[in-house]
Structure formats: structure tokens, C-alpha cells
Amino acid sequence: MTSEETLIELMRRIGLDREEVDERHRLLDWQRDDALRLSRAANDMTEPHQRFVERLYEHLGAFPGPAGLINEESTLARLKHSQLEYYERLWRGPFDREYLNGRLRIGLIHQVVGVEPKWYLAAYRLYLDEMNDALFGDHPQAATAASLLKAVFFDMTLAIDTYGAAQRRALEDSEARFARALRGANDGLWDWHLEHDRLYVSERWAQMLDLSRDALGEGCAAWFSRVHPDDLPGLRQAIDGHLGGRTALLHHEYRIRRRSGDYLWVLARGVVEHDQDGQRRMAGSQTDVSARKAVEEQLRHAARHDPLTGLANRLRLDELLKQTLQQLRKPGARDAALLFVDLDRFKLINDSLGHHTGDQVLVEVGRRLSQCLRPGDHLARFGGDEFVVLLTDLACIADAEQVAQRMLDGLYHPMHIGEHTLVVSASIGVAPLRASADASEALQAADLALYRAKQAGKAQFARYSQELQAAARRQLELESALGQALEQDEFILHYQPICRIEQDGPYLVGVEALLRWRHGGQLIPPQEFISSLEESGQILRVGDWVLRQACQQVRAWQQAGHDQLRCSVNLSSRQLQQDDFVARLTDILMDTGLAPDSLVLEITESQLMRDCTATLIALRELGSLGVRLALDDFGTGYSSLGYLKRFPLHILKVDKSFIDGADPESLAISRAIIGLGRSLGLEVVAEGVERAEQLDFLLGENCRLAQGYWFSRPRPAAELVQLFGEERGADGFRRLMPEPRSFTSRRERQI
Ligand code: C2E
Ligand code: MG
Ligand code: MG
């Protein structure tokens, strides 16, 4: 600040405008006459003035304070000269603004050099004493007046000191309060004069960065050069926003470099002020927010990671996917792919070894999968036993398949978990990531490929393709149409004969009812829709319909003379799980008039596995009703011999894959199953007999019950009945006639 600026600032502070000056004159009762009187007498005062100045310096020189200031002859002479000038001016005037400025300027200088107010007053007292003497030296009361002056001036020194001390005290109190508050807040302070680029920071501000204030530069560069490069644009923007009036306060968090080189999270708060000349000063605080940031970061991390494996979770995966898709849209981007990994039969581990072991398996799987990745790739746990891998920066999509294969190989090695040694396999769906897709489409594509890998037999990977997509769409369309199929009367039953084979030809023992769906001009086989019916729960209503329809039909054939004909119906596990299944079946048998021992219910091994006790109870009830039970597709599931003993079974159906196989192993298995069934007292039915040599084999093994295209394909009731012969065999069964040519030439899938 220039001395002129300081002076203006001082006047503003004192409030010394024209009114104030006038009021001060009025308080002293200063009249025009006073000025005239003084100026008229001024000429006579030269001598007393000189005397006074001499006396003054002599007097002050006796006190150590003033004596210390006036230690040189030349200074003393200069001071005496200006004192004379001043006191003469006191008589002559004029008392204009220039006079006022002069007084204030000298006051400022005196304050700076350390002239104390009491010396001032001592000088004025001496001056008045000298003037008194010059004017009224002969007056008898002159000495009294001089004494009065001393007493008054003493009081004046007291008054001035009291005011000054009280003001200083108030200021100190407020400063102390402020300092205490700052210490409590533990904040650093800064004050930045923008136009002059002068930055002041408090001790604490510097200490936060492990620096001393002196080590910092003066300008804002000292501050900004320490801000983290990623955060600097944001901080500048926040400051500009406040300077531009867009924000009421500066309030911004950023990282700043400490002496050690690491970064500290701080919050800067501040506000700008414009002084009278429009110059800007911004000042505020700096708070260490690193502890809060650390907690926030922990929370952020916890929200985006799986606590068990420490891998990214769905939320994080979604973020990563979006980032990758954005990068893919840039020109020259390399390929990226998603792998959807699902463990095979993980539920079995959980159910048999407990969730704790299951958890450890998941952790180990996570570890092995991550070992197959490169630094830029990501692995997330999608949920349960599902993992998703995001591969970026691929030269071609075939690279993703290599990673999938590495993962399958990596998982294949046995895992040692506690006392268990386990071999875990997974199925993987591989899908390229397309820039045009969104995150959920990409996941869907990989999931679809995974489904394909599972269907194809698990423990392998499958790649997403357009055809897969089309097939899935068709499946979806089918599923939605399936909801209406029963009401639209689109289901139909075909029947396939189950025969007793004799040397002179086959005799008809029973028929198996097989469900077909007439839809869109096609006859859709059950493999394409039974699982959908099971998933949606519709199988319950459809299953009831099948049972009722089949029982009715077979009862009608019985009444038409085939009195020993048996009716086989396939059951789904959900049907068996119904509490009232036995009651409903009893109703159907009553309504249709079919005897319970004419009905064979076919179930598969996997159904038996699902809910053992409930299934066991239902099957026992059915057994006591007189209904026969057949174990279908035997040999393809777990083939646990325990089931054969535990469940009340009557019939074993050897799966067609064994009958079909001409290799020695298949023949050996067929032979073993037939022997096993017989020794357990079960009837054995061979499924899928298509050729004469299979028939010979069965006859050789003394397996007398068979089913297959060799006798007849499954046919609508009206067609099948044409094969029912009149002639009865030894057991009273009727002969089954060979299929006429017109049957075999018809295309199977047409209605
Ligand atoms: P399944 O119970 O093992 O039925 C035998 C399947 O083998 C039938 O297939 C039949 O057409 C076929 N088959 C019979 N003989 C031969 C042969 O000589 N060669 C060949 N290659 N195949 C033969 P379909 O009708 O496609 O039924 C497939 C499966 O769908 C059935 O297997 C059964 O598990 C299920 N299913 C059929 N109808 C129903 C039903 O009403 N309810 C339930 N829950 N499942 C059903
Ligand atoms: Mg069956
Ligand atoms: Mg079967």
C-alpha cells in the first residue's frame, strides 16, 4: 500500500469526513474569531516558540524513551525546525484539508517510529505552559494555571490509555477466540491477493503438508504446483466459478502433495472480497479430510466387491462394462469379449459338504480363474457360482476362446479343501463385446452361449452366434405360446406299444402315452417343451390332462376287448411333489374306471434324487394303491443301486442308448441291467429296439419286454388301434400286427 493509500484508509477508519471535522470544532467551541485572534498575535510569538522548542528537547532528553530516538545532532536540528514550523502554523492557520492530512501523516510516522502518546501530551503541556508564561507571565495566578494544566494533562494521558487499552483488549479477545476456534478446527488458513498474486498461508496450512511456511513460495504457484494433476482442473474451475459469481462460496475437495510425495485429501473453503479499488482477495480455510475420504473409499470398495472372494461384484462389473463399451466405440479400438463362467453341479458340493466348503471352493475358483488373466482383464463374481470375465485389448476373438480353455484346464486340477479332494468343472459362454451393444445385451449373449455349453454336456465352452440367438428367440416364442396350448387344445397324446416278445412275434402288453404339441402346423416333440412346462409350473395341469386322457383311452381299449392292456404315463418330479397328487390320481382312476394295477407311472432317476423323503412317501402311497412304478431311462443317471432297494419299484426300463450300442461295453451293460432287474424281481423293459439283431440279443438274454420303432413308432390312438390283432398269446395278450406301409411312409413330424 502506498503512503497515500494508507492515509486514505486511516481517514476512513477514523471517520474523518467534513461533518466529523465540523463537529469536533463545535465541541471545542472553535469560532472564526479564535482563528483571527491567533493569527493577529502570531508575530509576537516567535521568541516564545523558540524558547519552547529548546525547552522541549531539553525536557524530553531527560527521559530514556525519547532520548533514544533523538540521538543525533542533525536529527535534532531537523526536528526542532519542523516543530517550529508546526507551532507557528497553529497560530496562523489555515486549518484546511492539507493541514489535516499533514497532522495525520505525522501521527502515522510517529506511531511507526515509536513516539508514545504520553510524550505528545507532555509536549503540548509544556507548550501551553510556555505560551502561558509569554502571555500572562506577570499575572498573580499564572502559576496556578500552569499547575492546573499539569493536572488536566495527566488525566488526559489516563483517558487516552484507558480507551486504547480497552480497544486493544477487545481485539485481543476476539483474536484469541479466533485462534482457539482455528486450533479446535485444526484447519489451515490461506489468504490470496489475486491482483498481486500474493499468497499467505498459516503455519497449520503448511504443516498439513509437512512443510514450513518459509519453504513455500509467495504466489499461488506454491499452492497449485502441489495439487494432484488430476484434481487441478477441477480446483481451478471451482475457483473461477466462485470468482465469476456462480457459487456463493468456494467449496472444493482435492488432493495436495505432501513433502514425502504422497497426497493428502483436503477441503478448501473460501470466499472472495473486493476492496474499494475493485481488487480481489480470496481467503479461507483448508481442512484435512483424508480420514473421511478413506472411509468413503472403503464403503465405495465394499459396495463394488464381493466380500467372500474380494472380486468385483455386479455393480462394479456394470461400470467396467460401460467403460469398455465406450472405449470400443473409439476408432482403432481392439476387440473385447465376455466370458460367462458357471460351475457345473456346484449345488451338489453345497448340499453334500456344506456351505462352508462351498465358499472355500468359490474362493479357490476365483483364484484360479484370475491366474488365467492378463493385467487389463477383469474378473467379477456375478452371484452364486457364476463368474464373469471381461477381456479387453484382444487381437481377435479367438484369443478369448483360448482364455476360456485355459480356465477349464486350470479348474480341472483337484482342489484340496479341508479333508476333501474335489474336482470342479465349469461351463463357459464366450461372447464378443460389440460397440453397438449395451452392457445387458453383452451379458445376455454370454449367458446364452453358457446355456449352450451346459446343454452340450457341461465342462466346456461355447461361443455365442447369431444362430444361438435365433434359437433362443424361437424358444422364447414357443414358451409364450405354450402358456395357451392347453386351453387351445393343442396337446395330443401318441401311444407306443410295449410288447412281450415271443418266438412267433410280439404281443401287446401295454402302451406308453407320449405327449405332443401341435403348434404352427408342426408336431413338437416333448424334449422341446417339457422343461419349459416344468419351469413355469404348467406341467401340473398338463400332467393331469395327460393322465386323465391316457387312462380314458386305455380303459376304452380294455373295454373293447384288450382287457389286459397296461397304460404307461411319464411323470415329472413336480407332479410327485404335490401334496395331493395321490388323491388326484385316485380321482382320475375313479372317473375313468381304469384299475390301479393297469397304470404304470414312469419316473427317472434324477427325479428320485431330488427330494428323497417326500418322493419316497408319495411312491409308497402309490404302491399301496396298486399302481405300478417304472424307473425310466435306467443307466443314464446316477444308477444308484440304492434306489432300486429303497423305492417300491416294479419295472426297470433299460435306456435305448445301451440297447442301441452294438459295442461290447453297451452289450455288457445291457446284460448286467437285465440280470440285475431280474434278480431284484423287477420286470425289465428294453427301450429303443429298432433292429432285428437287438431283438435276438434280448431273446438270448431272456429279456421279454421291449419297446421301440421295430414294433411301432408312437402313434395317435386311432392309428395305433389298427395294429391291435385279435389273436391271443399264452398269457392272454393280443398279438401286435406289423406296421402297414402307409404308416412308415408318413412323415413323423406332421400331424
Ligand atoms: P421316455 O419316457 O424315455 O420315452 C421314450 C422316448 O423314446 C419317446 O420319445 C419315444 O418316441 C422314443 N423312442 C421309442 N422307441 C424308440 C426307438 O426305437 N428309437 C428311438 N430313437 N426313439 C425311440 P419322445 O416321445 O420324444 O419323448 C421323449 C421324452 O419326453 C420321454 O422319454 C419322456 O421322458 C418325456 N415325455 C413324453 N411325454 C411326457 C409326458 O406326458 N409327461 C412327462 N413328464 N414327460 C413326458
Ligand atoms: Mg417313458
Ligand atoms: Mg425312456
Query: Which of 30-44, 635-649, 651-665, 707-721 bottoms out in mean pLDDT, i.e. has the lowest?
Result: 635-649
SS3 state of residue 507: strand
Structure-block grid coordinates of residue 159: 483517558
In short, whether 366's Cβ falls inside 6 Å of ligand 1 is no
Protein residues within 5 Å, CB atom, of ion ligand 3: 632-633, 687
Lowest mean pLDDT among 39-43, 246-250, 340-344: 39-43
- Quickly state the pLDDT bin for 313 (edges 50, 70, 90): very high
Please state the atom number of ligand 1 nearest to the C-alpha of residue 575: 44
pLDDT of 640 over the 90 cut? no
Match domain 479-746 to its CATH number in 3.40.190.10, 1.10.760.10, 3.90.1150.10, 3.20.20.450. Answer: 3.20.20.450
Can you give the pLDDT at residue 750? 38
Q: Coil, strand, or helix at residue 339?
A: strand
Calpha distance 673→687 (Å, rounded): 12
Atom of ligand 1 nearest to the CA of 525: 26
Q: Provide the CATH number for the domain formed by 31-165 in this structure.
A: 1.10.490.10
Q: Lowest-pLDDT range, 112-121, 290-299, 315-324?
A: 112-121
The closest residue, in CA terms, to atom 4 on ligand 1 is: 514
**Separation CA 496–CA 717 (nearest Å):** 9
Look at the alpha carbons of 515, 517, 521, 523 in this order and tell me if their dihedral is positive or negative: negative
**pLDDT of 562 above 80:** yes
Banded model confidence at residue 639, pLDDT cuts 50, 70, 90:
low
- Mutate-to-test residue for ligand 1 from 496, 511, 514, highest number of ligand atoms within 8 A of CB: 514
- Above 60 in pLDDT, residue 508? yes
Pairing of strands 651-654, 683-686: parallel
Which ligand has the shortest distance to the CA of 655?
A: 3
List 603's β-bridge partners, or say none.
631
| Nearest atom (ligand 1) to Cα of 571 | 44
- Domain residues of the chain, as ranges? 31-165, 186-295, 305-464, 479-746
**Quick check: 324 and 389 in contact, CB under 8 A?**
no
- Please list the residues that pair with 198 across neighbouring strands: 193
Who wins on pLDDT, 180 or 376?
A: 376
Cβ neighbors of 41 (< 8 A, separation 6 or more) are: 91
Share of the chain above pLDDT 90, in %: 67
Predicted confidence band of residue 1 (pLDDT cuts 50, 70, 90): low
Q: Which ligand is nearest to the CA of 515?
A: 1
User: Ligand 3 center to residue 708 CA distance, Å?
Assistant: 10
Q: What's the Rg (C-alpha) of the chain?
A: 54
- Mean pLDDT is lowest, of 120-134, 333-347, 593-607, 635-649, for 635-649
Where do we find the cell 443307466?
A: 635
The larger pLDDT score, comparing residue 524 to residue 215, is at: 524
pLDDT exceeds cutoff 60 at 716: yes
Residues 389-426: tens digit of each pLDDT: 999 999 998 999 999 999 999 999 999 998 899 999 99
Q: Are the C-beta atoms of residues 750 and 719 closer than 8 Å to each other? A: no
Which among 500, 498, 503, 508 is positioned nearest to 737, based on CA atoms? 508
CATH of 305-464, one of 3.30.70.270, 3.50.50.60, 3.40.50.300, 3.90.220.20: 3.30.70.270
Distance (Å, whole) CA 303 – CA 297: 10
Given a cut of 50, whether residue 604 has pLDDT beyond it is yes
Please compute the mean of the pLDDT values over residues 712-719 and round it to a whole number: 96
Judge whether 242 and 249 are in contact, CB under 8 Å: yes
Angle at 721 between CA 718 and CA 725, to 5 degrees: 165
Q: How confident is the model at residue 11 (pLDDT cuts 50, 70, 90)?
A: confident
Residue identified by cell 472444493 is 252
pLDDT at 276: 75
Choice between 612 and 502, residue whose per-residue pLDDT is larger: 502
Q: How many CB atoms lie within 10 A of CB 293?
A: 17
* pLDDT surpassing 50 at residue 104: yes
Q: How far apart are CA 644 and CA 620, in angstroms?
A: 13
Ramachandran angles phi, psi of 316, nearest 5°: -65, -40
Q: For 483-512, b where at least 16 C-beta lie within 10 A, e where not — what string?
A: eebbeeebbebbbbbbbbbeeeebbbbbbb
Secondary structure E strands in 576-626: 599-604
Q: Which of 601, 705, 604 is nearest to 659 (CA)?
A: 705
- Phi-psi category of residue 232: left, alpha or beta, with phi > 0 → left and psi -120 to 50 → alpha: alpha
Q: Which three cell numbers stand for residue 39?
A: 493569527
> Cα separation of 525 and 535, whole Å?
17
| Position in ligand 1 atom list of the atom nearest CA 707 | 15
Query: Quick check: 748 pLDDT over 50?
Result: no
d(CA 129, CA 87): 14
Predicted confidence at residue 749, as pLDDT, reads: 36
Residue 166 has pLDDT above 70, yes or no: yes
Q: Report the alpha-carbon distance of residue 72 to residue 76 in Å, rounded.
A: 6
Cα–Cα distance for residue pair 486/463, rounded to 1 Å: 36
CA–centroid distance, 632 to ligand 3, in Å, is: 5
The one-letter amino acid code at 172 reads E
pLDDT in tens, 231-271: 999 999 999 999 999 999 999 999 999 999 999 999 999 99
Question: What single letter denotes the amino acid at residue 671?
Answer: R
pLDDT grade for 93, boundaries at 50, 70 and 90 = confident
Residues of the chain with pLDDT > 70: what percent?
A: 98
Q: Which CATH number does 186-295 carry? A: 3.30.450.20
Give the C-alpha separation, 152 to 145, whole Å: 10
CA–CA gap between residue 474 and residue 480 (Å, rounded): 10
Nine cell digits for residue 33: 474569531
pLDDT band at 606 (very low <50, low <70, confident <90, very high): confident
Handedness of CA 352, 358, 360, 366 (dihedral sign): positive
Closest C-alpha to 56, from 127, 111, 113, 108: 127
Q: Confidence class of residue 729 from pLDDT cuts 50, 70 and 90?
A: confident
Distance separating alpha carbons of residues 742 and 370, to the nearest angstrom: 62
